[in-house]
Structures are given as structure tokens and as C-alpha cells.
Structure 1
Amino acid sequence: MMRASLLALSLLAATPAAAANLVIEPVVVPEMKAVFGRVESRTVTPARARIGGTVREIRVTEGSQVRKDDVIAVVVDDKIAIEMSAAEARIKALDSQMTNARTELGRAKQLLERGVAAQSRLDEAQTAYDVIVNQVAAAQAEKAVIEQRAREGNVLAPASGRVLTVPLTVGSVVLAGEEIARIASGGYFLRLSLPERHASEIEEGQAVQIGQRGLSPAQAAQVGAAKEGRVAKVYPEIEEGRVIADVEVTTLGDYFVGERTLVRIPVGKRSVIAVPPGAIKTVHGIDYVRIAGEAGEQDVAVIIGEPVTIDGAERIEILTGLHAGDQVVLP
């Protein structure tokens, strides 16, 4: 009994697994076009000098990360120090005059109380004292304006982001409003330029495949393996036979502005014949697919194309060798 059971088990183990047949039917898939997308910043804000003068210090370089209101450079106007000294000297002179006017006002009050001076003298002393007080206030306000101008020598970052360019060097003479640095802020996106024949096929919201960084042919074959984006905007104007589209990608923070990367975008649809990767076997450099027919199973030479995804499953496109209705034998 035991020998018979072992013999039956050995026969079952030696029997090949039953094969399944896949009936070939054309499937409509998106037609993908590979293009280069250029990384752009949503906003590029210039940091400008608020006063004219000489650049005394630059605290950032190209590529530096800055936060809003960080001091990125210092502009110094030598005339401000002279104006500040003049304002302080004027305030000291007015303080002395105010002290004298206060003394004269007190003396006029005493003389009026003793009856040896007229009321008009007291009024004159009071008026002179009030004039000096107002002159001191005006001088102090002028000094505050000069101090504010000195503080405005600090060039502040207008927004948080990455410094793109710093066109000046220490010692450069600048005017008020001149650009000290350009800062990319607000996030990045990809800008695509496609031939105008695809304009009617590109729609907002379409999913696109973003390739890995680099422009080599080896990396071109890996397009779509890195990340996915969506068409955010299609511009209505065609420039020099090209239609422009913007692609939103959530993970472009480490890219350089102006860097190019490979993108595959759907520009139409086509009908394909595709089989699972396991149905293809390669012998001496030639690809074969086994099909079942009235005469039995036979291997048919095929030419394969690009991988495609159908209903979430990976398939290999068959360019020639198979037809609709063929029964492919799957292992």
C-alpha cells in the first residue's frame, strides 16, 4: 500500500503544470511622448537695495537657502555718517538754546510776580521757549530719518527660497532699487514644450511620468520609475510652433532651476497587442511566443516593443508576429 502511494506521488510530481491560454485582443493604451521638461520656479523675486551706496558685505552665494527678512547684503552710504554727526550737533545746539530759553522764561515769571516786568515780556519768553522745543523735536525727527536710512542699508530677503544669482561683488556701487540677488521662491514646476500637432491632445489634469534625474539614454529607459506629476496648465498661445504646458510635481525641491529632466506625457491613444512578460522566451537573440492552434502548440517569432501597463498589470507590446484571436500559451 505504501509503495503504491509513493509511486502515485512520484507520478504527480513528474507531471508538468497545466498551461493556460490567453486569447489575444487589441487594447487601447495612451500614446506616450518623451520630452524634456525644464525646472522653473513659481516665483523669482529680486532682492533690491533700498539706498544707494557701496556694497560693504554680501552674506549669500548662488544656491544659498534664505528665509524671509534675512540680511543678505549690507550697503553703506558714507554721507549718512556725516549727516548723522550734523544732526547730533544741531540737537546739542538746540538743547543749549532750550536751556537758555527755559531760564529766561523762569526769570520773566519771577519778575512778573514782583511787578517789575510786563506781561508782554513773559509772553515773549514763553513763545521763544516753545519755538526752541519744537525745533528740538524737528531735529530729533530728522535724526530718526537718518537712522532709518542707515538701517535700510541692510538688504533683506523678500521671501524664503534659494538664491539663484548674485550679480554684484563687495565694493560695487549701487543705486536705490538696484538688484542685489534673485531668489526663487514658491515651489518648483516643470515646463514642457511640445509640437503644436499635440495641442488638441494635451489636457489639464493628465498624469505624466517623470524620469530619474539625468539625460543619458540609460536613464531615458527608466522614465516613469521615479515619480508622477499632473498637467496643471496648458497655455492658449502657441509660440514658434510649440505648445507650452506646466506640470505640477510635489518632489522637485532638490532640483536646480533650469535643470532638464525626461518626461513622458500622453499625446493620444493607440491599439496594441500585449502579452505578459512570462509568455516571451528568447533563444539565440530571437524572441518567441508559444501559441495554440488546430495543429497543436508552436513557437512564433515576434518583435517586442515597449512595456505597457494594462489594468495595473505589466505587459510587453508585440509589434509583429501575433494577431487578434491568437491563443497564447502561458506557463
Structure 2
Amino acid sequence: MAATRNILLFAAFAVVAAPVFAEPVTVEETVIVDYRPAVARIEAGDTATARSRLQGVVSRLSIDEGDVVDAGTLVAVVTDSTISPQISALSSRIEGLQAQITQATDDLARNEALFNQGFFPKAKLDEQRTGLDVLQRNLASAQSERNALSARQAEGRILAPADATVTSVNVVEGSVVSPGEVIATFATVNGVVRLSLPERHAAQIN
């Protein structure tokens, strides 16, 4: 019995005295995502307006609130009803002047030949040259006036000022507008997010 107890004590001592080997521990850095509820709003990075440059009627409107448009997109057309009749009248006048110039040029060439042969008076020839010069100046003036009216008419084309979202449309087709009147307002597509957070959370945001 005593021998058995000695054997058990020896075995227990051997177990206690045996070396203990620690397991290796790996430490890794990680990011802990902490989601918290917050109130936020998206604000436009910039805003812009499209304005009429003419006194006239909105004859075309191609946008609605909430539409996303590219810079230069046609959003509306304002028509000044007094411009088209003036352009038509000038076009008719220009055609008439061109016909007169063609005829005067032919007459002058023929009479210059006669003058060189001594069969046409110089005073009459000078008069024809002056008349042709007047016709050419009148033609240039009419063309310049028509170009100015065409440019004025083109100002009725209202274009989107930037890549943006339409935030409001202030007119409908048929509306009468004045120069400088706002047709629509826009907010740029690239917005800014604004958060409203308690001050105690500020230090936790990187």
C-alpha cells in the first residue's frame, strides 16, 4: 500500500515538474466599424439659374423639376414675335438688292466697253459706278442688320448652365417673360453631404 502511494506521488511530481510550453499568440490590427444613426442632408455644391434674355413667349419647355441635364442642353426657347417678320423683310430686301447689283454690274461692264470705244459718255459711266457702289453698301447694311436680328433671335435659346439637377421650373409653355426673368434653377450634380452629430461623437470621426 505504501509502495503504491509512493508511485502515485512520483507520478504527480513528474507531471507538475514537466515543462509547460506556451502557444504563440498572433496580434493583428483591425478596423472596427461602429455604425451610429445620424441626421444628414445633401446640399448642392453650387447653384445656377437660366434666365430669359428676350421679351417674349416661352414657345418650348423641355425640362421638369428633378431632371438631370448636361451643360449646354436646350431647356427652353423664348420667342420674340417681332423678330421673324423683320428677318423676313430684310431677306426679301437682300434678294432684291442682289438682283439689282447683278444687273448693274452687267450694265457697267457693257458700258465700260462702249466708253473705251468712245461710244459712251464718261459722266454717265461715273454715275453708274456710283449707283453700283450705293447698292453694294445697302446690301452690306441689310445683311449686317439681318445677322444682328438672327443673333438676337438665337438668344431665345435657353441652355443649361452646367451639369446639374433641375430644382425648380418657374414657367410653362405659353408664359410671357421679360429679359432677366428666371426660367429655371439648377443645383450641380456633385453635392456636399452635411451631417448633424452630437459633439461627443466628434472626436470619434476620422
Shift of 1:55: 0.7
Are 2:156 and 1:153 aligned?
Answer: yes
- Residue 42 (structure 2) pairs with residue 39 (structure 1): yes
How far does residue 174 in structure 1 lie from its aligned partner after superposition? 0.6
Tell me the C-alpha RMSD between the 2 structures. 2.7
> Partner letter of residue 142 of structure 1?
E
Task: Identify, as 1 or 2, the structure richer in strand.
Answer: 1
Identity over the aligned pairs, expressed in percent? 33
How do residues 1-331 of structure 1 correspond to structure 2 at under 5 angstroms? 36-185=39-188, 187-191=190-194, 210=195, 263-264=196-197, 266=199
- Show CA shifts across 1:146-169 (max 9, x none): 222232222100111100000111
Looking at structure 1, the residues matched to 51 and 111 of structure 2 have their Cα atoms a distance apart, in angstroms, of: 56
Unpaired segments ≥5 residues, structure 1: 1-33, 192-209, 211-262, 271-308, 310-331
Q: What SS does structure 1 have at the residue aligned with 2:110? A: helix
Aligned length: 169
Q: Secondary structure of the residue that 1:78 maps to in structure 2? A: coil
Quote how far apart the aligned CAs of 1:101 are. 2.0
**Paired residues of 1:52 and 1:77 also in contact (CA < 8 A):** yes
Post-superposition Cα deviations, 1:244-271, rounded to whole Å, max 9, x if no partner, equal: xxxxxxxxxxxxxxxxxxx32546999x
TM-score normalised by structure 1 residue count: 0.46
TM value normalised by structure 2: 0.71
The one-letter amino acid of 2:68's match is Q
CA contact (8 A) 1:94 1:132 kept: yes
CA deviation profile, 1:70-110 (whole Å, cap 9, x unmatched)? 00111112212211211112112212321332133123302
CA distance in 1, matches of 2:137, 2:45: 51
- The CA distance in 2 between the partners of 1:114 and 1:268, in whole Å, is 105
- Contact preservation (8 Å) 1:72, 1:157: yes
Q: Compared with structure 1, are the counterparts of its residues 57 and 126 closer, same or farther at alpha carbon in structure 2 (3 Å cutoff)? A: same
Question: Larger RCO: Structure 1 or Structure 2 (Cα < 8 Å, ≥ 6 residues apart)?
Answer: 2
CA shift for structure 1 position 56: 1.3
User: Structure 2, unaligned stretches of length 5 or more?
Assistant: 1-36
Aligned partners of 2:57 and 2:176 also within 8 Å: yes
Cα distance in 2, alignment partners of residues 186 and 64 from structure 1? 11
The 1:269/1:51 distance shift into structure 2, 3 A limit, reads closer
Which structure 1 residue ranges, 4+ long, deviate > 6 Å from structure 2? none
For 1:96, what is the secondary structure of its paired residue?
helix
Instruction: Confirm or deny: 8 A CA contact 1:108 1:121 kept in the other structure.
Output: no
Shift, 1:112, TM fit: 0.9
Shift of 1:111: 2.3
Q: Hey, what's the Cα distance between the residues in 2 that align with 1:267 and 1:167?
A: 44
Partners of 1:112 and 1:119 within 8 A in 2: yes
Which is greater in Rg? 2
